[in-house]
């Protein structure tokens, strides 16, 4: 995925766009670029590297209509030529784009008389618009006609030096219009313009927004065929403070520590709302929990919680594998889609498949106005505020809390669920003190010296072992693997060497003795056991205490691994907020 921001208004568009790009950098950080409107030509500046490292604003052209892009490469290598914006042959049209144009080779062949300077699908769009303008069409109509030719998922913003108009459109990739006083913003995500306005229009698939700067900035909405649409802005509840670092060195640690309150925020939904969704789950004949990556592990832990509390079987499928299950879908099937961004392409595709089969869809999602939220039959927001570090932390535990509450509601024990989760939130708040952080930081110095590590758990904490491994892979780049404790002796135990760090998730539950035996099996082969548990044990070489939370133990157990991942990354001088090769939300398949 990539980040887009554009500005049309009376202020210095260049500095607003550069600032917005910095706020969107979590969406992509291999290269960036900006286009500033001018007549007769558009000035374009592009660079390989992170926008956060760029501070020479004076070197850029100034202007009141500007657009920028921060890239996470999909089509074409990370080079200056492939960075956006892309221009047509004459340089009069500039385009930024997020997504993938599936028929780009075909269209590029059609445009063989044009000269291309990059390997991207985006550049083709600028030539396609140019081609339409050659046939006498105006800029706006040329963009719309071009859009009707594109297959795939995309968010596109185009400007032309011959008009004062900027045209934005979406099909499958997010695009939000920020509406200020006589000024407009177009962005992939709200934090890019939140300090300027909290009024936003979330474009629907097939929407085109045209913003003119004259006589004063104004906007019109149409579909791809020019039919007028009415779109009204809604007020955004996220605040600028939530979106900032607020004195922390990195977003990742800020967001981990925010779990002191986000768990409470996650369950601050009225009983009726929770019960309504719980009733949908109870009424369904076949429920699927769907998510990708960390959200997939949340789905998995949710299935254990539903089995234990609601006595309900739930199918868990990762988004990308869901197409194989389409034969089992009926109009009584319910999909519960779990996602931080609400824009993950594989999860969205699962939703589309399910909807075609007449299934109902509920989403548990953090980003307000996201595609998943808007296209589900019902939704629950995680209420965690913006999560900007690429790896998910506070939203993970918020989603587990929501699923736990739903399981209790399905069992007709909502009050009991609320009590448990309120006490969980309080105890996590107490747990996260300075002493706790410094002990985990101390441990990270040992872990940082190893290339591999393993995490074991059973039952509810098996998915947390898998999630812990994702955290240790993606941030400090340690080859970590999670296993069900019982699976170890069927192969993976061969990997244990003298000193290999192994985390054992030992909750005070019915599988406690078994997981301790598994930890002992590792220790007997030289492994170094880090126990995450309410109680210390002789088997542990290091002990990270967590509160005894019963069914909510996955929440308590994953937080110390998030911290270990963060501190190990810092120890290894890896950037915790922007891990290599990753993007915050994966809007391509």
Confirm or reject binding of residue 391 to ligand F6R (CB under 6 A).
yes
| Catalytic residue of the set 171, 297, 471, 584 | 584
Confirm or reject binding of residue 585 to ligand F6R (CB under 6 A).
yes
C-alpha–C-alpha distance, residues 467 and 558, integer Å: 8
CA distances from 18 to 2, 223, 256, 257 (A): 15, 29, 27, 29
- Which SS3 state, helix, strand or coil, does residue 30 take? coil
Confirm or reject binding of residue 259 to ligand F6R (CB under 6 A).
no
DSSP summary character for residue 325? G
Confirm or reject binding of residue 371 to ligand F6R (CB under 6 A).
no
Confirm or reject binding of residue 392 to ligand F6R (CB under 6 A).
yes
Confirm or reject binding of residue 340 to ligand F6R (CB under 6 A).
yes
What does DSSP say about strands 218-223 and 234-235: parallel, antiparallel, or unpaired?
unpaired
| Catalytic residue of the set 2, 160, 359, 410 | 2
C-alpha–C-alpha distance, residues 173 and 140, integer Å: 20
Select 293 or 385, whichever has its Cβ closest to ligand F6R. Answer: 293
Residues 501-540 that bind ligand F6R (CB under 6 A): none
Q: Using CB atoms, what's the residue nearest to ligand F6R? A: 293
Confirm or reject binding of residue 347 to ligand F6R (CB under 6 A).
yes
Residues 268-297 that bind ligand F6R (CB under 6 A): 292-295
- Which SS3 state, helix, strand or coil, does residue 581 take? coil
Q: How far is the CB of 185 from ligand F6R (least distance, A)?
A: 22
- Which SS3 state, helix, strand or coil, does residue 292 take? coil
Confirm or reject binding of residue 587 to ligand F6R (CB under 6 A).
no
Q: Contacting ligand F6R (CB under 6 A), which of 341, 444, 500, 557?
A: 341
Select 470 or 516, whichever has its Cβ closest to ligand F6R. Answer: 470
- Which SS3 state, helix, strand or coil, does residue 357 take? coil
**Residue 455 token pair:** 């995490």
Is 360 annotated in the active site?
A: no
Residues touching ligand F6R, count (CB under 6 A): 15
What would you measure as the largest C-alpha separation in the chain, in angstroms?
A: 81
Is 88 annotated in the active site?
A: no
Confirm or reject binding of residue 335 to ligand F6R (CB under 6 A).
no
Select 421 or 475, whichever has its Cβ closest to ligand F6R. Answer: 475
Look-up: residue for tokens 């035996």?
517
Confirm or reject binding of residue 470 to ligand F6R (CB under 6 A).
yes
Select 318 or 406, whichever has its Cβ closest to ligand F6R. Answer: 318
Confirm or reject binding of residue 473 to ligand F6R (CB under 6 A).
no
- Tell me which stretch binds ligand F6R (CB under 6 A): 266-274, 339-347, 349-357, 440-448: 339-347
Q: CA 156, 199, 380: angle at the middle one, nearest 5?
A: 85
- Which SS3 state, helix, strand or coil, does residue 246 take? coil
Under a CB-based contact definition with an 8 Å cutoff, are residues 179 and 201 in contact? yes
Select 93 or 391, whichever has its Cβ closest to ligand F6R. Answer: 391
Q: Quickly list H helices, 475-511.
A: none
Under a CB-based contact definition with an 8 Å cutoff, are residues 47 and 32 in contact? yes
Confirm or reject binding of residue 363 to ligand F6R (CB under 6 A).
no
Q: Contacting ligand F6R (CB under 6 A), which of 1, 93, 586, 588?
A: 586
Select 189 or 198, whichever has its Cβ closest to ligand F6R. Answer: 189
Look-up: residue for tokens 């926008």?
51
How many residues can be counted in the chain? 589
Could you tell me which residues are beta bridge partners of residue 542?
530
Look-up: residue for tokens 């042959």?
89
Instruction: Report, as residue numbers or ranges, the catalytic residues.
Output: 2, 584
Q: Which residues bind ligand F6R (CB under 6 A)?
A: 292-295, 339-341, 344, 347, 391-392, 470, 474, 585-586
């Amino acid at each position: 995925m990539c980040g887009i921001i554009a500005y049309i208004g009376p202020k210095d568009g260049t500095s607003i766009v550069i600032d917005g790009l910095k706020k969107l950098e979590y969406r992509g950080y291999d290269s960036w670029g900006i286009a500033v409107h001018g007549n007769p030509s558009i000035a374009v500046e592009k660079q390989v590297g992170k926008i956060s490292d760029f501070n020479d604003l004076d070197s850029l052209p100034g202007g009141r209509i500007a657009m920028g892009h921060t890239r996470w490469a999909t089509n074409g290598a990370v080079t200056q030529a492939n960075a956006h914006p892309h221009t047509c042959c004459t340089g009069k049209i500039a385009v930024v784009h997020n997504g993938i144009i599936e028929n780009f080779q075909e269209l590029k062949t059609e445009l063989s008389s044009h000269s291309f300077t990059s390997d991207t699908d985006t550049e083709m769009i600028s030539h396609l618009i140019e081609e339409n303008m050659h046939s006498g069409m105006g800029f706006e109509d040329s963009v719309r006609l071009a859009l009707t030719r594109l297959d795939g998922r995309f968010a596109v913003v185009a400007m032309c030096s011959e008009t004062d108009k900027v045209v934005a459109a979406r099909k499958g990739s997010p695009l939000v219009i920020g509406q200020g006083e006589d000024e407009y913003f177009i962005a992939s995500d709200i934090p890019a313009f939140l300090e300027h306005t909290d009024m936003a229009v979330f474009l629907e698939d097939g929407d085109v927004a045209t913003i003119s700067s004259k006589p004063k900035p104004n906007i019109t909405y149409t579909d791809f065929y020019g039919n007028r649409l009415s779109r009204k802005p809604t007020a955004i509840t996220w605040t600028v403070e939530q979106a900032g670092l607020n004195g922390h060195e990195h977003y990742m640690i800020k967001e981990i520590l925010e779990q002191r309150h986000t768990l409470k925020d996650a369950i601050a939904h009225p009983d009726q709302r929770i019960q309504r969704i719980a009733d949908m789950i109870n009424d369904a004949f076949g429920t699927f929990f769907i998510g990708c990556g960390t959200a997939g592990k949340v789905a998995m832990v949710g299935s254990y919680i539903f089995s234990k509390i609601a006595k309900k079987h739930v199918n868990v499928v990762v988004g990308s594998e869901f197409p194989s299950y389409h034969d089992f879908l009926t109009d009584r099937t319910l999909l519960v889609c779990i996602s931080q961004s609400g824009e993950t392409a594989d999860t969205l595709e699962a939703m589309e498949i399910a909807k075609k089969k007449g299934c109902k869809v509920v989403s548990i999602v953090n980003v307000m106005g996201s595609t998943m939220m808007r296209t589900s039959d019902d939704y629950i927001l995680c209420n965690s505020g913006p999560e900007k570090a690429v790896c998910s932390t506070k939203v993970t535990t918020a989603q587990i809390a929501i699923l736990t509450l739903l399981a209790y509601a399905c069992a007709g024990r909502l009050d009991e669920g609320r009590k448990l989760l309120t006490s969980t939130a309080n105890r996590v708040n107490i747990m996260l003190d300075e002493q706790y952080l410094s002990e985990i930081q101390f441990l990270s110095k040992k872990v940082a010296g190893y290339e591999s590590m393993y995490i074991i758990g059973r039952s509810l904490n098996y998915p947390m072992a898998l999630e812990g491994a994702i955290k240790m892979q993606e941030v400090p780049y340690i080859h970590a693997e999670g296993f069900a404790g019982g699976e170890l002796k069927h192969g993976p135990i061969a990997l244990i060497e003298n000193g290999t760090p192994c985390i054992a998730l030992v909750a005070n539950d019915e599988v406690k003795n078994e997981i301790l035996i598994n930890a002992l099996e590792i220790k007997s082969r030289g492994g170094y056991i880090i126990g995450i548990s309410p109680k210390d044990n002789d088997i542990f070489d290091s002990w990270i205490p967590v509160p005894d939370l019963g069914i909510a133990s996955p929440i308590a157990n994953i937080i110390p691994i998030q911290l270990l991942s963060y501190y190990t990354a810092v120890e290894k001088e890896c950037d915790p907020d922007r891990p290599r090769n990753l993007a915050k939300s994966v809007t391509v398949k």
